[in-house]
A and B are shown apart, each in its own frame.
Chain A
């Protein structure tokens, strides 16, 4: 596949690894609304053939695959398509849990350029949880066909994270996406995610609770989000707090970073 792209630079560096998942350096999650071409992107990167019906709710459990880019092996996890991470539906729980507890090194949020407004709702929610985010603006070709001019730079500026225009079906823009992803993971791109504040009363409550959470769990990266979830009455987060899962998460994340930098120094890569 992707013959038409055999000449582009990225595809010389990209190696699809299908289901070989035993040895990987980084974990990347694919999130997005239903029907935004997430699975198509997943297939294009891993060379797998996940079914992609034009139909919300196809990917019910998460699918995993691997690819290698510039010598780094990535595990790619395709999360169920959801409109939001707030409700208690099963899909949303799977997606939310992975972004929080799976501790991916980067989350690529796939958005549909023809319905950006709806898709940004999810992007903003992901930005609440983690700042290692790249927004893939998919279906740029379709948007053009429908007479929409989408400006990814304006998007990136407003969101505080990179936004890369792609067309997963034709393979357009994939190399840029992967490069950006790698740079976000390695910290060459510093993200400043846009956080939505809500009403003043809500803000105060969140700030008060977040301060307490930070005091209780030093080093927690997303105290604000945890505070919001607790105010909302999120049972899973409540349990995580009661079972002391957060300190473990932080410890595991550090370990993974150390392991990877060790590996790089051993192999003499920069």
Chain B
């Protein structure tokens, strides 16, 4: 009697629809399969856009699959009408390309979300977005896009593709940028992560206007008018520039708000371009618009957050927030102006 009961319980545990172990395992397998297909699509799209050919062997290497499994995956995708073989090379069909664009869109939207709404550090968002990009249905993706306010670029400066629109240019790597021409950083490649971290650590940001001062095989020197950034060419190749038409170089003496000395009045010059979405909105809604006067008014035991007097109110900002607000300290004459 007891053993029968036990047996049925075990059976239920294994075979129950939706929550049983077998059902869970099945669902996980389907998820894995989708991830594999989508990763393959993304890889193909990336290389096709760069004008490169992909072989099954290269796909195997990129997805960390055995050659046999990679071949099976390619066959399966070909049968689904996502890709076609041209000799040894794999090519996306229009269907495959459309799906690949959707994955790319999901990835970049998630990066936008994680950077703006969840305020995750930039160097961490790629992995988390990669984990999430395979989970959405088309409707959920549209909803995410709408909730983020239809952003045009991801936090690395890559355009977010939308149905029926080709993705925009990605710019020119800093290594081939003409010397002494102002260029706006429009993209920071986040692969490989090591190079990306070095770029961030050097203090270079999206939207910054820079010039190439010096280029030798050993190093590349960039300048934004105040600071010089020395980078290995291999690292600098991950910085992409576009002509800076509307570029006004930042006035001299501009510094991030969190470094402004206590009690020193200043004028807001800009909000960091990398800050988009809800966080940027919030800053603007609080009246932190360019041209506004701001004074660090209160400092507590931990020195963080600091409270700033702006437009007649005291607003506390953490240092990581204040770091995104660029200000120009006012001299005594300007400060007593009003």
**Residues of chain A having any CB pair with chain B under 8 Å:** 83-84, 86-89, 114-118, 121, 232-233, 235, 238
**B244-260 contact mask (Cβ, 8 Å, vs A): 1 or 0:** 00000000000000000
Contact of B147 among A86, A117, A235 (CB under 8 A): A235
Contact in complex: A87, B285 (CB < 8 Å): yes
**Size class of the contact patch on chain B:** 10 to 19
B4 to chain A, nearest CB (A): 53
**Interface flag for B262 (CB, 8 Å):** no
Do A115 and B281 form a contact, CB below 8 Å, given A121-B287, A233-B149? no
Inter-chain contacts of A114 with B (CB < 8 A): 312
B277 to chain A, nearest CB (A): 9
Which residue of chain A is the closest to B150 with respect to CB atoms? Answer: A233
Contact in complex: B285, A84 (CB < 8 Å): yes
Which residue of chain A is the closest to B287 with respect to CB atoms? Answer: A118
Which residue of chain B is the closest to A236 with respect to CB atoms? Answer: B146
Chain A contact surface mostly: helix
**B143-164 contact mask (Cβ, 8 Å, vs A): 1 or 0:** 1001101100000000000000
Contact in complex: A88, B285 (CB < 8 Å): no
**Interface flag for B137 (CB, 8 Å):** no
Inter-chain contacts of A86 with B (CB < 8 A): 281, 285
Contact in complex: A118, B282 (CB < 8 Å): no
Which residue of chain A is the closest to B289 with respect to CB atoms? Answer: A121
A44 to B287, CA, bound (A): 30
**Interface flag for B313 (CB, 8 Å):** yes
Q: Assuming A88-B278, A118-B311, what are 6 further A-B pairs, CB within 8 angstroms?
A: A83-B287, A114-B312, A117-B287, A117-B311, A117-B312, A233-B150
Contact of A232 among B143, B149, B282 (CB under 8 A): B149
Inter-chain contacts of A115 with B (CB < 8 A): 311-313
Contact in complex: B311, A83 (CB < 8 Å): no
Contact of A118 among B143, B146, B150, B313 (CB under 8 A): B313
A116 to B147, CA, bound (A): 31
Inter-chain contacts of A233 with B (CB < 8 A): 146, 149-150
Contact in complex: B278, A87 (CB < 8 Å): yes
**Interface flag for B136 (CB, 8 Å):** no
A238 to B313, CA, bound (A): 34
24 inter-chain pairs at a CB distance below 8 angstroms, sorted by A residue, are A83-B285, A83-B286, A83-B287, A84-B281, A84-B285, A86-B281, A87-B278, A87-B282, A88-B147, A88-B278, A88-B281, A89-B282, A115-B312, A115-B313, A117-B287, A118-B287, A118-B311, A121-B285, A121-B287, A233-B146, A233-B149, A235-B143, A235-B147, A238-B146
Inter-chain contacts of A87 with B (CB < 8 A): 278, 281-282, 285
Inter-chain contacts of B278 with A (CB < 8 A): 87-89
Which residue of chain B is the closest to A33 with respect to CB atoms? Answer: B313
Inter-chain contacts of B281 with A (CB < 8 A): 84, 86-88
A178 to B107, CA, bound (A): 54
Inter-chain contacts of A235 with B (CB < 8 A): 143, 146-147
Inter-chain contacts of B287 with A (CB < 8 A): 83, 117-118, 121
A114 to B282, CA, bound (A): 22
A121 to B278, CA, bound (A): 18
A117 to chain B, nearest CB (A): 5
Chain B residues numbered 99-115 whose CB sits less than 8 Å from any CB in chain A:
none
A240 to chain B, nearest CB (A): 13
Inter-chain contacts of B147 with A (CB < 8 A): 88, 235
A86 to B283, CA, bound (A): 12
Inter-chain contacts of A117 with B (CB < 8 A): 287, 311-312
Inter-chain contacts of B143 with A (CB < 8 A): 235
A184 to B311, CA, bound (A): 30
A233 to B145, CA, bound (A): 10
Tell which of B149, B285, B311, B312 has the most Cβ of chain A within 10 Å.
Answer: B285
A121 to B289, CA, bound (A): 12
Chain B residues numbered 9-53 whose CB sits less than 8 Å from any CB in chain A:
none
**B278-297 contact mask (Cβ, 8 Å, vs A): 1 or 0:** 10011001110000000000
A242 to chain B, nearest CB (A): 11
Chain B residues numbered 194-227 whose CB sits less than 8 Å from any CB in chain A:
none
6 tightest Cβ-Cβ pairs between the two chains A and B = A115-B312, A84-B285, A87-B281, A235-B146, A233-B150, A233-B149
Contact in complex: A118, B312 (CB < 8 Å): yes
A232 to B150, CA, bound (A): 9
A200 to B287, CA, bound (A): 22
Chain B residues numbered 130-146 whose CB sits less than 8 Å from any CB in chain A:
143, 146
B268 to chain A, nearest CB (A): 14
Which residue of chain B is the closest to A116 with respect to CB atoms? Answer: B312
Inter-chain contacts of A232 with B (CB < 8 A): 149
A201 to B298, CA, bound (A): 40
